[in-house]
Amino acid sequence: MNGEPPQPGFRVLAPPPEEGMAALAEPPSFSILIPTYQAADTVGESIESALAQVHPAHEVIVVDDGSTDDLDTALRPFGDRIRVVKKENGGGASALNAGTEAASGEFVAILDADDAYDRRRIEALAELARTRPDLDLITTDARFLVGGREAGSFLAENPFAIDDQRQAIFESCFLGGWPAIRRERLRGIGGFDESLRTGYDWDCWIRLLLAGVKAGLVERPYYEYRLHPDSLTGSRLSSLWDRVRLLEQATRNPTVRDDERPALERAIRHHRSRAVMAEARAKADGDAPSAHPGRRAFSPGVEPKARAAALLAACAPALARRVLPADRPAEQRLAEDGS
């Protein structure tokens, strides 16, 4: 249609473009960031996938977040084809912030050190950024892999929000953890929150969308997310409570409108109740001896079902083991079903 920018050769999920928006003559540049901690055994394959892009990245930056394994040996074969940033251990958010400060591309694209890019991922992101310059947060679908076998996709489990992304991001992290972000926009909100051990990606997308950013997704699984069932369970409780914390932080964001606060409060109530339920199950199973779910039972903003579970786990753990459901995130379920 006249006046509309040309469309890329793949389906895109995104809010409609602004009237009169024109495509760029050339795509923006991309810096691929690979935050790395104790990943000497897997980071080589991740780097190889980043260097094998059909549309080359502007640079590939590996951030060594204080690793004590033999990372230097793993990185040596790549020579000057990559940049290495070394820092003391500070967690995933800290590593991404360090990589962002070192980057010079217009976008920074995230790649975990045990995952991989399809060779066409940067090409797809670059074309989307060229045809839709109004999008500052862009991603692709992701394939879940277990033992090299496909076990579903992120988009199948997490529908991408097109309408009212500001409220939708309260309900779920529909962008996943591996988008590309316009670097100046990321720096404008202060980067990733280093006080969060987990959930810092979701927290960042919330702050970006509340700051006026629009997000888009290429509906092709150009990110390979390798699932490891054992690694998904150890910090489950702290991860669930981090979600509550980051949503509570969002209530203090001055850009949240009054009409958006009910959705945010519902999201907090849902995730707090889910965390209480998971804590009750862990206590009943003896997996969280330091947890005291009974103390959470009458906390404000806990759903009755979760309150009853907390009291049951505190008073009758044997019965709780028989009746309380296990908390199984989608990733763990897919990994177990695909193994």
Distance CA 168, CA 103 (A): 30
Find the mean pLDDT for residues 75-97: 97
Distance CA 218, CA 128 (A): 8
Q: What is the pLDDT of residues 219-250, one digit of tens each?
A: 999 999 988 655 444 467 788 889 999 999 99
Place of tokens 């505190």: 314
- Tell me which of 219-223, 253-257, 261-265, 294-298 is least confident: 294-298
Q: Residue 104, SS3?
A: coil
How high is the pLDDT of residue 318?
63
| Structural domains of the chain, ranges and CATH numbers in brackets | 12-226 (3.90.550.10), 236-338 (no CATH)
How high is the pLDDT of residue 305?
75
Q: How many CB atoms lie within 10 A of CB 277?
A: 25
Q: What is the pLDDT of residues 7-36, one digit of tens each?
A: 566 799 999 998 889 999 999 999 999 999
Q: Would you place residue 292 in the very low, low, confident or very high pLDDT band (cuts 50, 70, 90)? A: low
CB of 162 within 8 A of CB of 92? Answer: no
Instruction: Give the H/E segment covering residue 187.
Output: helix 183-188
Q: What is the pLDDT of residues 260-275, one digit of tens each?
A: 999 999 999 999 888 8
Q: Would you place residue 308 in the very low, low, confident or very high pLDDT band (cuts 50, 70, 90)? A: confident
pLDDT at 135 over 60: yes
Q: How many CB atoms lie within 10 A of CB 324?
A: 22
Distance CA 134, CA 140 (A): 17
CA nearest to 262, candidates 162, 159, 167, 165: 167
pLDDT at 291 over 60: no
How high is the pLDDT of residue 2?
38
What global pTM score does this model have?
Answer: 0.88
Q: Would you place residue 276 in the very low, low, confident or very high pLDDT band (cuts 50, 70, 90)? A: confident
How high is the pLDDT of residue 1?
35
- Tell me which of 4-13, 107-116, 139-148, 173-182 is least confident: 4-13
